[in-house]
Amino acid sequence: MPVKGADVIAKNLKSFGGGFLKHVNRTMQHVSKILDVEVTNNINLTDHSLQELRRAGHPYRIGGPGLHHPEPWKVHMQSGQLFMSKKSGIEEADITGGNLRTRAWAGVDENLAPHALYLIFGTSKMIPRDFLTPALNTAKGPALEYLKRNLRDFVFNFKAVEK
C-alpha cells in the first residue's frame, strides 16, 4: 500500500541535513558490533585435544555424536584463522522513494578462512556447525531493542516542516 506524502517525508529527511541518516548509520554500527560479539562467542572456544574429543565420543562426527553436545554450533579455536577472518559492517542508510534502507552484518571472509564453509555446511565426516545463524538469533533481541530505543527518541524529537 503506497504511503501518502512519501515525497514530503523524503524532503523533510533530506532537508534535515543528513542528520537522521548519520544517526541511523551510527545506530547500525552499534548493531553490527552486537552481531560481531555473538559471532565471536561462537568461534572463540578453547581448543579440545584429540584425547578430549575421544573421551567425549567425538561429538561433531557424522552419524550422531557419541554424547549430546549442548551447543553443536560452537567452534573451538585452533589456528585463529577463523577468528582473524571475522568481519562486520553496515550498508550506509539511504532514502529512495520514501523508503529507508540500511543493513548491519557480521560474518567471516572465506578467502581468509576457507575451512569456514566446511564448518558451516559440514563434510562427509563432520556435522555442520553453522555458527552464524545462532549468533543472529541471539543478537536479534538486543539489536531490535537498541534500534527501537535509539531511533524512537530521535524520530520523536524531529521537527518536520509540513507541506
Per residue in 63-98, pLDDT (tens digit) is 665 555 566 677 766 677 888 999 999 999 888 877
The parts of the chain modelled with pLDDT lower than 50 are: 1
CB atoms within 10 A of CB 79: 10
What is this structure's pTM? 0.67
Q: Which three cell numbers stand for residue 35?
A: 552481531
Q: Say if CB 81 and CB 52 are below 8 A apart.
A: no
57 vs 69: CA distance, rounded Å = 10
Q: What is the pLDDT of residue 1?
A: 47
Q: What is the pLDDT of residue 29?
A: 94
163 vs 5: CA distance, rounded Å = 9
Q: What is the pLDDT of residue 79?
A: 73
Q: What is the pLDDT of residue 32?
A: 94
